[in-house]
Amino acid sequence: MIVTAQKPLDEVLDFISPYSNILIAGCDGCTQPPRGLREAKTLSQLLELGGRLRNKNFNFKVVTAAKQCDSYLTASMLKPQIEGVDTVLSLACGIGVQTIAELFPELPVFPAQNTHFMGAEEREAGTLEERCSACGDCILAVSGGICPVTRCAKGLLNGACGGARNGKCEMDPAKDCAWELIFQRLEKQDKLDLLREFRPPRNYQLRAWRLTV
């Protein structure tokens, strides 16, 4: 899932202050927790209260799209609501914001979220952790299902670097050494010989320019 965090309300209020009729567009897609109808409604309530402090009255409409990155679905949900709207506030990741901006080029579209990374949620702990960097050249098959590009601070393809202490990264002792995890995993699978293979540097061109697949 794509992990986002709410922007500070003041920043969002600054965005929308010049406008009165605001459409808040939720996204039911891959963010966790989903920033769907409830978050759209909650945000409208918080912004209304915040607006009062600035002597500003907003009219909010709330809507949600199944996934804002799908321009067809997003258009079908937003178009019936767009009349009379001065600006759209999107609760999606950066992709959703851009989809709406493309759909309604005449309207300013603002993000209500900061998009952080692609990650997984540890439900009990309530934490979200980055797991994939979208490098375009997946090596999970030979790294025991653990991504060193994302989880090794140095992004090494031929680890470990030797700097880890007690299984923790020398860059951040709060984080596990990804290569130690890979070693343990491969050991369990009796596949340690995979570590003998040398992996040439990644093809950074895959990330250097926007790609279409």
Q: CB 30 → another protein: shortest distance, Å?
A: 10
Cβ neighbours of residue 189 closer than 8 Å, sequence gap 6 or more: 144
Would you say 33 or 163 has its CB closer to another protein? 33
Question: Is 37 in contact with 66 (CB distance < 8 Å)?
Answer: no
Total count of residues recorded for the chain: 213
Q: CB 33 → another protein: shortest distance, Å?
A: 5
Binding site for another protein (CB under 8 A): 6, 8-10, 28, 32-39, 41-42, 45-46, 48-50, 53, 64, 66, 123
Q: In 3-state terms, what secondary structure has residue 23?
A: strand
Calpha distance 167→153 (Å, rounded): 13
Calpha distance 177→171 (Å, rounded): 10
Would you say 28 or 180 has its CB closer to another protein? 28
Calpha distance 131→144 (Å, rounded): 14
How many Cβ atoms from other residues are within 10 Å of residue 129's Cβ? 14
Calpha distance 97→155 (Å, rounded): 30
Q: CB 70 → another protein: shortest distance, Å?
A: 14
Question: Is 112 in contact with 97 (CB distance < 8 Å)?
Answer: no
Would you say 45 or 203 has its CB closer to another protein? 45
Q: CB 3 → another protein: shortest distance, Å?
A: 14
Name the residue among 178, 151, 148, 145 with its Cα closest to residue 164: 178
Would you say 64 or 99 has its CB closer to another protein? 64
Would you say 62 or 149 has its CB closer to another protein? 62
Would you say 70 or 176 has its CB closer to another protein? 70
Q: CB 4 → another protein: shortest distance, Å?
A: 13
Q: CB 50 → another protein: shortest distance, Å?
A: 4
